[in-house]
Chains A and B, each alone.
Chain A
Amino acid sequence: MAVLSGKASTGRFGEVVQPHLSDALALARWLTGNAADAEDVVQEACLKAHAGIATYAGGNARAWLLTIVRNVSYTWLARNRPRNLVSVGDLADLDELAAVPELGEAGGPEAALIAKADAAALEAAIAALPHAYREVLVLRDINDLSYREISIMLSVPLGTVMSRLSRARGLLISKLGGQQ
Chain B
Amino acid sequence: MSEHEGLPTDPADNHLLIHALVDGELDAATSLTLERRIADDRTLAAEHERLAALRAALGRLPKPDVSEALRVRVAALGAHDETTARPIVHRFGSFDWRAMAASILVTAVLASGATHWAMRGSTPDNFAAAIASSHRRSLLAASPVDIISSDRHTVKPWLDARVGLSPPAPDLAKDGFSLLGGRVEVIGDRPVPALVYRHREHLITLVAAPQESDTAQSPAATNLSAGGFSLVHWTDGAFSYWAISDTERAALDDFVSRFRAVVAAG
Binding site for B on A (CB under 8 A): 1, 3-4, 6-15, 17-19, 21-23, 25-26, 29, 35, 38-39, 42-43, 46-47, 50-51, 57-62, 99-103, 105-106, 108-112, 114-115, 117, 119, 122-123, 140-142, 146-148, 159, 162-163, 165-166, 169, 172-173, 176-177
Contacts and interface: CB of A to CB of B under 8 A. Distances in A.
Given A59-B186, A106-B43, A142-B58, A14 B115 contact: yes
A43 B50 contact: no
Interface of B: 11-12, 15-16, 19-20, 23, 25, 42-43, 46-47, 49-67, 70-71, 73-75, 77-82, 85, 87-88, 110-111, 114-115, 117-119, 126, 129-130, 133-137, 140, 146, 185-186, 188-189, 226-227
A25 B85 CA distance: 25
A21 B70 contact: yes
Given A18-B75, A115-B53, A1 B227 contact: yes
Given A105-B43, A147-B23, A162-B19, A11 B74 contact: no
Contact of A46 (B64, B77, B119, B135): B77
B113 to A, nearest CB: 10
B25 to A, nearest CB: 5
A10 B114 contact: yes
B54 A14 contact: no
Given A47-B87, A57-B136, A58-B136, A112 B53 contact: yes
B15 A173 contact: no
A19 B78 CA distance: 13
Nearest to A147: B25
Contacts, number: 176
Contacts of A146: 23, 25, 146
Contact of B77 (A47, A60, A147): A47
Given A106-B42, A111-B49, A17 B81 contact: no
Given A3-B226, A13-B77, A14-B115, 11 more contacts: A8-B126, A10-B81, A14-B119, A50-B80, A57-B140, A108-B46, A114-B50, A147-B23, A159-B16, A163-B16, A172-B54
B77 A115 contact: no
A59 B134 contact: yes
B73 to A, nearest CB: 6
Contacts of A29: 64
Contacts of B75: 14, 18
Given A3-B227, A50-B77, A122-B61, A14 B70 contact: no
A159 B12 CA distance: 12
Nearest to B43: A105
A142 B137 contact: no
A179 to B, nearest CB: 13
A6 B78 contact: no
Contact of A17 (B50, B55, B74, B140): B74
